Chains A and B, each alone.
Chain A
Amino acid sequence: DVKVTQSSRYLVKRTGEKVFLECVQDMDHENMFWYRQDPGLGLRLIYFSYDVKMKEKGDIPEGYSVSREKKERFSLILESASTNQTSMYLCASFGNPSGNTIYFGEGSWLTVV
Chain B
Amino acid sequence: DTTVKQNPRYKLARVGKPVNLICSQTMNHDTMYWYQKKPNQAPKLLLFYYDKILNREADTFEKFQSSRPNNSFCSLYIGSAGLEYSAMYLCASSRGGGGSYEQYFGPGTRLTVL
Whether chains A and B associate is no
Which residues of B pack against A, CB within 8 Å? none
Which residues of A pack against B, CB within 8 Å? none
